[in-house]
Structure 1
Amino acid sequence: MYTLLVAAASSVPRTVEWSPKIAIVMIICNIIAIAFGKATIQRQKDGPQLPSPEMFGGMSLGALLGTTSFGHVLGAGTILGLSRLGVL
């Protein structure tokens, strides 16, 4: 029983603490995702508008939420990959 517990505890991946480097990686990934969404979303102005739509190129709330959600998924994968490589 104890060997199973030790095996489970030793297989836990190392996670990194929050730092400004991690914040910069997440911001860059979100900017890339917003730029990608701006270039590929066909009807990006449909739906409720943001209070200052010119700040995000006229994208609607739905388009912004979609691109930033994609940016966070992209950022999480990038942070996990860079921490696994030892860069972060």
Structure 2
Amino acid sequence: MATRPVACFIAVCDLCGTSETSEGYTPHGPTEQAVIDIVTEKWGDPSCGWTHTADGRLVCDTVDDTAHKTAHEEAGKTITSCAMTVTFT
């Protein structure tokens, strides 16, 4: 069996330290910017997913925490447990 080492970047929430999305997988990419793009544009939609704040923090899509909710709202995003109600203001 052939193997080779592969280096990648993973997204880490600056508030809680998680590396998983609400779907339970760990987003990863070949560059820092690639993984930021992956988590902040879930399925190509920038209104879903994590938030990259104006001050450079990366905040996961947790919906049951005040600090997360505040960071999303300050960035103009509202995330709820129902994907159909994710909106940008």
TM normalised by structure 1 equals 0.24
Higher helix share: 1
Higher strand share: 2
Of structures 1 and 2, the one scoring higher in RCO (CA 8 A, sep 6+) is: 1
TM normalised by structure 2 equals 0.24
